[in-house]
Amino acid sequence: MTTDLSAPARRGTTTAGRGNSPRPPFGVSAVSILAVLIALFSLVPLGYVVYMTVATGWDTAVALILRPRVGELLANTLLLMAATVPLCLLLGVAGAWLVERTNLRGRRIWAVLLAAPLAIPAFVNSYAWVSAIPSLGGLGSGILISTLSYFPLVYIPAAATLSRLDPAIEQSAAALGLGAWRALFRVVLPQLRIALTGGGLLVGLHLLAEYGAFAMIRFDTFTTAIMTQYRSTFNGAAGNMLASVLVFFCLLLLMAEVRSRGTARYARIGSGAQARALRLPLHAYQIPSQAFLLALTALAFGLPLYYVLKWIVAGGADVWTAAEFLPALLATFGYGLAGAAATIVVAFPMAYLAVRRPGWFSKSLELSNYVTSSMPGIVVALAFVTVSIRVMPGIYQTAGVLVAAYVLLFLPRALVNLRAGLAQAPKELDEAAQALGKPPLLAFIRVTLRLTAPAAAGGAALVFLAIANELTATLLLSPNGTKTLATEFWSKSSEIDYAGAAPYALLMILLSAPMTYLLFQQSKKVAGQ
């Protein structure tokens, strides 16, 4: 498939060109083959699920899927999503609108504070809430904790879109006789559709994939059930069928997002300087707005931070035994760096094709990547466990497999950055370098790679920090005896050693803070495109 795709473009050259290929920096087919191999590799988890479902056989599959336990999990998951996604949308949009479109006092500080909860991994948030209210459990607390953890996923893109929204659109609405409130609902909110469906999808996928936060409060979802099955039967058909259902829901969410996003265009049309945003005076609502934001950030960010610090104070110097947390910190850094580097290397050919040779070929590669991005960590981990045991037993529980899983899980983050970076390095610059006497490969290195480097570094940083907080896949795939910050935190808090877990929570929050800031900054840029 791969060679045929690029052949038409090169057919003339291969027969005529005795000299070098004119296509920098390595022939089309080399990049294409590489990208297809990566895409195939990225489809391993989906392939695993499909294969397992088929291998289980129709009757067994039906029997395993149509049972009360699955119905229970289904009800839990659906209720959780039905409540949490709308809540996140509401909180995210309300926050974004207050910050970007009203004369809210201190809006610069609020803008950052509303994104800050993202710096607290959901399972740390859960740990803090359980510390505060030990009796927490069940659907209600699941909704509470996941809403507080994930509403920034809606807030960040919504705020970015609102800040880039052309005020002229609102001015036109005003000129057409719409008051501020009607303009908000008829003109402004419809413009947020892409941000809202994208954010809603992310919240949904996180809800499906999260393990730690729900396990901590003993709230069962498909992911926690798969983990339990895996722990008890290792690789049973029941667990695999749960994974199939989980993947089915992920794909369903993906399709819902594609459908609702539609083909509409919301980019600013026309050129020229953009006017300053209009800000609605809050008047009497100023104080209630401040109170609302204060309560929200206190619950989502203040409370977890407070309890982590409280446990640290309670634990005193005893919990900071270097022999324990230093190896975990080092392992986290090691995996983070290796995973980040590997992810950037793997993402580059795909980003290159998407930016430099857009077409149905790069589109289909992107689609495969999009599907992979929806795979929960538990499914990726299960697939890698199974494939490594069955196909290459030698690599099971080696660091390489874990790094490969990280690559798949965080490839999309690196891609977003690399694509933006490559877009800053148009091929005209490469050509200019060639016209100045540099051979294609040298031109590519000195211009394109050099110009993409900052974006690649940004992407690598995001991947690194995401790996530092990854729990589910790390639990399943890490080599025996390897401890990371996340797994150490998990084992301590599972043993109700809350004070002992606190230093790891604090380190993860400190590591996540810059990631949150990076994501926040990046969103502002992406929304403008």
Interface residue with another protein, options 62, 132, 432, 496 (CB under 8 A): 432
Answer whether the bond into residue 25 is a cis peptide, omega within 30°.
yes
C-alpha span between 494 and 275 (Å, rounded): 54
In the chain, what are the helix, strand and coil shares in percent, each to the nearest 5? 80, 0, 20
Reported for 295-299, long-range contacts at CB under 8 A and 24+ positions apart, including other chains, are 296/91, 296/95, 296/114, 296/151, 297/110, 297/113, 297/114, 297/116, 297/117, 299/148
Rank residues 11 and 186 by Cβ distance to another protein and give the closer one: 11
Q: How many residues bind another protein (CB under 8 A)?
A: 27
Q: Kindly state the smallest distance separating residue 359's Cβ from another protein, in Å.
A: 10
Interface residue with another protein, options 20, 103, 171, 172 (CB under 8 A): 20
Interface residue with another protein, options 3, 7, 17, 295 (CB under 8 A): 17
Interface residue with another protein, options 60, 397, 434, 491 (CB under 8 A): 434
Q: Kindly state the smallest distance separating residue 125's Cβ from another protein, in Å.
A: 41
Q: Kindly state the smallest distance separating residue 27's Cβ from another protein, in Å.
A: 13
Q: Which stretch binds another protein (CB under 8 A): 17-25, 267-275, 276-284, 379-387?
A: 17-25
The DSSP secondary structure of 423-467, one letter per residue, reads HTS-HHHHHHHHHTT--HHHHIIIIIIHHHHHHHHHHHHHHHHHH
Query: What totals of helices (H) and strands (E) does the chain contain, helices first?
Result: 28, 0
By CB under 8 A, tell whether 447 contacts another protein.
Answer: yes
Rank residues 8 and 270 by Cβ distance to another protein and give the closer one: 8
Task: Name the residue type at position 329.
Answer: L
By CB under 8 A, tell whether 451 contacts another protein.
Answer: yes
Rank residues 142 and 440 by Cβ distance to another protein and give the closer one: 440
C-alpha span between 155 and 420 (Å, rounded): 22
By CB under 8 A, tell whether 497 contacts another protein.
Answer: no
By CB under 8 A, tell whether 290 contacts another protein.
Answer: no
- 8 A C-beta contact, residue 353 and residue 365: yes
- 8 A C-beta contact, residue 51 and residue 243: no
Rank residues 391 and 441 by Cβ distance to another protein and give the closer one: 441
Task: Name the residue type at position 394.
Answer: G
- State which of positions 127-186 bind another protein (CB under 8 A): none
Q: Kindly state the smallest distance separating residue 425's Cβ from another protein, in Å.
A: 9
Rank residues 440 and 459 by Cβ distance to another protein and give the closer one: 440
Q: Which stretch binds another protein (CB under 8 A): 44-52, 72-80, 297-305, 421-429?
A: 421-429
By CB under 8 A, tell whether 16 contacts another protein.
Answer: yes
Please, what sign has the CA dihedral across residues 478, 482, 485, 486? positive
Q: What is the DSSP letter of 395?
A: G
By CB under 8 A, tell whether 13 contacts another protein.
Answer: yes
By CB under 8 A, tell whether 271 contacts another protein.
Answer: no
Interface residue with another protein, options 315, 327, 334, 426 (CB under 8 A): 426
- Give the angle 190-202-343 at the CA atoms, nearest 5°: 125
By CB under 8 A, tell whether 431 contacts another protein.
Answer: yes
Of 364, 476, 443, give the one whose Cα is nearest residue 486.
Answer: 476
Task: Name the residue type at position 526.
Answer: V
Q: Which residues bind another protein (CB under 8 A)?
A: 8, 12-13, 16-20, 22, 424, 426, 428-429, 431-440, 443, 447, 450-451
